[in-house]
């Protein structure tokens, strides 16, 4: 009963939020439109990460690498080939997913922390290639001034394009989250050994989850290029991956919508605090520590618990 009322409220809230987001660009300065668009892209990226971290329980430590692969693939297809734009768009997520599959095949053989360590090394390999292969990627300069199709070349149009694709992606991710695949993935997170024992091929399932997650990371990478018109190796640098990992934890990794909150908070902090200080990584570290000690379920998880969404301990205490 109370669940239904709550979810009805949630629907109204989402509708309201969407209307605001569609009206906003006409009412706010360009800079804020840009920041909002960055938040959308980052939200999509962190949500894709959360498929494997929060729902899959995997130590996906270098998710940024696949974001970078998506962005670079899109940028290279646009600048180095004369193929139609839609192929360039599609190639971003597809190449990201292929990279995800190849790296994932090695990683799922290992457990937990070793999975994460191997992924950092293999992802850093991608970073090194991007950094060094000057003739193709522009090395540490990256590629700048990438020309977008006229339809999305203005900031406002790019904003709407990013908003719509982010919403569509989130809807698809939500359907997957609620599907038998998603439910089984969460069961694997909770207890992989038990999942084996009920007939689930755990590694295969995890690999499919990684492919899906890296595909959406690739979409986020493409959207980043749509907004910025440039790519640079920092996208694939491990520090950025750490940052989005923290966003995931901050928002609440056991929830579906938490990563949006995490991304919004962190991007805003970086933008507005970053102006005053050079010690962004230090702030990052402090946030992480506070998180571990005070909000192990993240912001969203904390709110949900306060609102009584999960009847967590009630049964035990009731007995």
Would you tell me which residues interact with other proteins (CB under 8 A)? 175-176, 178-184, 186-187, 189-191, 193-202, 205, 208, 254, 310-316, 319
* Cβ at position 288, least distance to other proteins in Å: 22
Place of tokens 């977008």: 148
Min dist CB 122 to other proteins, Å, is 25
Between 24 and 303, whose beta carbon lies closer to other proteins? Answer: 303
Q: How far is the CB of 291 from other proteins (least distance, A)?
A: 19
- Looking at the Cβ atoms of 63 and 189, the one nearer to other proteins is 189
Q: Which helix (H) or strand (E) holds 34?
A: helix 30-50
SS3 180: helix
Q: What are phi and psi of 143, to 5 degrees?
A: -120, 130
CB of 311 to other proteins, least distance (A): 6
Q: Which is nearer to other proteins, 82 or 319 (CB)?
A: 319
CB of 173 to other proteins, least distance (A): 11
- Please, are residues 257 and 55 in contact by the beta-carbon 8 Å criterion? no
Rounded to 5 degrees, φ, ψ at 268 are -60, -45
Residue closer to other proteins, measured from CB, 111 or 153: 111
Which of 256, 261, 257 is CA-nearest to residue 291?
Answer: 261
Nearer to other proteins, 197 or 275 (CB): 197
* Closest separation in Å from C-beta 313 to other proteins: 6
* Residue 236: HSE in the Cβ half-sphere, 13 Å Cα cutoff: 31
Q: Is the dihedral of CA 221, 222, 223, 228 positive or negative?
A: positive
Shortest distance in whole angstroms from residue 228 CB to other proteins: 32
Q: Are 213 and 48 in contact (CB under 8 A)?
A: yes
Smaller CB separation from other proteins, 201 or 268: 201
CB closer to other proteins, 79 vs 186: 186
Q: Which is nearer to other proteins, 118 or 195 (CB)?
A: 195
Nearer to other proteins, 237 or 254 (CB): 254
Q: How far is CA 22 from CA 29, 46, 156, 169, 274, in A?
A: 14, 22, 10, 17, 27
Contact of 299 with 250, CB cutoff 8 Å: yes
We find the least distance from the C-beta atom of residue 117 to other proteins, in angstroms, to be: 25
- The whole-angstrom separation of Cα 130 and Cα 115 is 23
- Rounded to whole angstroms, how far apart are CA atoms 247 and 240? 11
Exposure string of 282-319, with b = 16+ CB inside 10 Å and e = fewer, is: eebeebbeebeeebebbbbbeebeeeebeeeeeeeeee
Smallest distance, other proteins to C-beta of residue 169, A: 14
Q: How many CB atoms are closer than 10 A to CB 145?
A: 7
| Bridge partner residues of 231 (DSSP) | 143
């Amino acid at each position: 009963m109370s669940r239904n009322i709550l979810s009805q409220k949630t629907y109204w809230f989402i509708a309201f939020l969407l209307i605001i987001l569609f009206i906003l660009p006409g009412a706010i300065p360009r800079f804020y439109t840009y920041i909002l668009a960055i938040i959308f892209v980052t939200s999509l990226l962190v949500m894709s990460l959360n498929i494997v971290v929060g729902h899959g329980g995997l130590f996906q430590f270098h998710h940024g690498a696949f974001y970078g692969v998506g962005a670079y693939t899109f940028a290279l297809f646009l600048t180095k080939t004369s193929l139609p734009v839609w192929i360039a768009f599609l190639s971003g997520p597809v190449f990201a997913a292929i990279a995800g599959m190849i790296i994932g095949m090695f990683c799922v053989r290992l457990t937990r922390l070793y999975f994460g360590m191997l992924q950092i090394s293999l992802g850093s390999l991608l970073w090194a290639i991007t950094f060094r292969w000057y003739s193709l990627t522009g090395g540490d300069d990256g590629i700048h001034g990438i020309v977008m199709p006229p339809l999305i070349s203005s900031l406002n149009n790019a904003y709407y394009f990013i908003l719509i694709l982010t919403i569509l992606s989130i809807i698809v991710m939500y359907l997957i989250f609620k599907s038998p695949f998603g439910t089984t993935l969460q069961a694997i997170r909770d207890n992989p050994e038990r999942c084996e024992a009920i007939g689930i091929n755990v590694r295969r399932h995890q690999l499919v989850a990684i492919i899906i997650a890296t595909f959406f990371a690739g979409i986020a990478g493409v959207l980043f290029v749509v907004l910025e018109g440039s790519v640079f190796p920092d996208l694939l640098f491990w520090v950025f991956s750490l940052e989005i990992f923290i966003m995931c934890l901050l928002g609440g990794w056991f929830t579906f919508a938490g990563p949006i909150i995490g991304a919004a908070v962190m991007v805003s902090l970086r933008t507005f605090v970053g102006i005053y200080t050079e010690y962004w990584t230090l702030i990052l570290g402090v946030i992480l520590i506070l998180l571990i000690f005070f909000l192990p379920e993240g912001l969203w998880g904390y709110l949900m618990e306060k609102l009584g969404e999960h009847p967590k301990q009630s049964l035990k205490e009731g007995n």
